[in-house]
Amino acid sequence: MHYKLKKPNLNKIKKEEFSEALLNKKKDEIFDFVKKSNEPEYLYWDKVQYKKPMPKNIKPEILWMIIKFIRESSSLSTDIKDISDKNFKWHKLPSYEAFFHNLDLNLGGELAITKKESDIKNKQKFISRGIMEEAIASSQLEGAVTSRQVAKKMIKEGRKPRNESEQMIMNNYQTMLALEEKYRDKKMGMELLSELQGMITKNTVDGDGKIPMLRTAKDLIYVADRSNGEIYHTAPDICFVKKELKNFFKFANDGLEGDHFIHPVIKAIMLHFWLGFLHPFTDGNGRLARLLFYWYLLKHDYWAFAYLPISAIIKKSPVQYKMAYVYSEQDDNDLTYFIDYNIKKIKQAMVDFQNYVETQSKNNKEINKEVKVKYKFNERQIQVLQYFCGDPDERTNMKTHINIFQVAKMTAIKDLRELEGNGFLTAQKEGRNVFYYPTEKINELFKKK
């Protein structure tokens, strides 16, 4: 069963009623209602019809017609097309200018947090955290059932995946690292797209138990609700997909804009939607779509997005994420629903990250003086203490220390043994590995402050 948006019956509305409403004495009230239907949330009919306060004696259907008329008259066409060759369009909302300005100040170059010397030292830590959280959440959105805590331990300790869910997460993590190191400056094409898809689906199988690959005419792909099987999207015919991928690649390589500038973040969101809409592979499309969002922004020097695990925010509202696709596809190809949803998630991710940084900075100030003077610990060792204070049930080992801080084996051993020797960690041998667990002394250190 295919999911269909409920649409208003506009056939019963006479042209005269529409015209009279625009000339009504309540015109200002009507246009204020229209404005509030676009921001702070870009609403579809299912919410507009119940929105309060509504201008009196004006039918909801007429208000919706006015909303649609204004949206259509100010919409911008995109290069994305549906199967009937109709272009998707989007509406540049007034609040976007302020958003772009703030974004360019904070994410287009040096983040505010990197202005301090102590934060520069933490830069790699912040990036590692962001990439790790993104890899886990993006995979969980596609059905990976491993918990966040177990997944983080697997990545930090360098342990091999034990099941397909863990494999999905490890694949995503390693591919995101490779974006920065290898792929960010490469030209997008079928070869690169297939290579990235192969990396995120390595050692996994699709719904038919086969190795994920480019779809054929026989492969019918649906995006459905796992709980009831209701279909929200049917992947287009592969012939259409192959034709549109040529435009997709041109767009990704900035070859279709001409004189029409589109902000890089909007383009990255469009690539995210476009790949998800085309669904060219038998598996991995969702993860690949979100990966391309990061690829495009890193390519255009918005490197600080590596700090922001957008999928972790999306995972908190998966129904809204799904409906952002549905509204965009089923409400006259209005891509604004999807763009607006993603912009809100980016804003939230920025706030969450700044809060995280402020908390970390506060913890630094609380213990830096004592541990530096009394114990002469280095920055890495201080960060280990801070980590265990926030997660007393966690553990670490030499591999984890090496992976996070990018240090040599002997340096990692020295760091951890010094912490153990001063009573902050206790070592336990488990198989071939030695794991370090926090002691009560860490909590006592923080309680003094």
Look at residue 440 and tell me whether its pLDDT is greater than 80: yes
Point out the least confidently predicted range of 29-33, 83-87, 385-389, 411-415.
385-389
Q: Is 417 annotated as a binding residue?
A: no
Confidence at residue 112, expressed as pLDDT on a 0 to 100 scale: 46
Confidence at residue 322, expressed as pLDDT on a 0 to 100 scale: 94
Residue 90 · residue 339 · CB < 8 Å: yes
Closest CA to 77 of 66, 67, 62, 90: 90
- pLDDT category, 368, cuts 50, 70, 90? low
Q: Is 286 annotated as a binding residue?
A: yes
Name the average pLDDT for the chain.
87
Q: Give the chain's radius of gyration (CA, Å).
A: 25
Q: Is 288 annotated as a binding residue?
A: yes
Burial class (CB in 10 A: 0-12, 13-18, 19+), 283: buried
Confidence at residue 10, expressed as pLDDT on a 0 to 100 scale: 84
Element (DSSP H or E) covering residue 361: helix 336-370
Single-letter amino acid code for the residue at 147:
S
CATH 1.10.3290.10: does it fit domain 78-353?
yes
Active-site entry in 263, 279, 300, 401: 279
Confidence at residue 224, expressed as pLDDT on a 0 to 100 scale: 87
DSSP state of 112: G
- pLDDT category, 369, cuts 50, 70, 90? low
Does residue 300 carry a catalytic annotation? Answer: no
242-270 pLDDT, tens per residue?
999 999 999 999 987 655 789 999 999 99
Average pLDDT for 79-95: 96
Average pLDDT for 49-67: 91
Angle of the 148-157 helix axis to the 398-405 helix axis, nearest 10: 90
CATH 3.40.50.1000: does it fit domain 377-447?
no
Look at residue 114 and tell me whether its pLDDT is greater than 60: no
Average pLDDT for 29-38: 92
Q: Is 162 annotated as a binding residue?
A: no
308-365 pLDDT, tens per residue?
889 999 999 999 999 999 999 999 999 999 999 999 999 998 888 878 777 766 666 6
Give the torsion sign (CA, 250, 253, 255, 261): positive
Residue 443 · residue 425 · CB < 8 Å: no
Task: List, in sequence order, every residue forming a beta bridge with 80; answer none if it has no partner.
Answer: none
DSSP state of 181: I
Confidence at residue 383, expressed as pLDDT on a 0 to 100 scale: 82
Q: Is 283 annotated as a binding residue?
A: yes
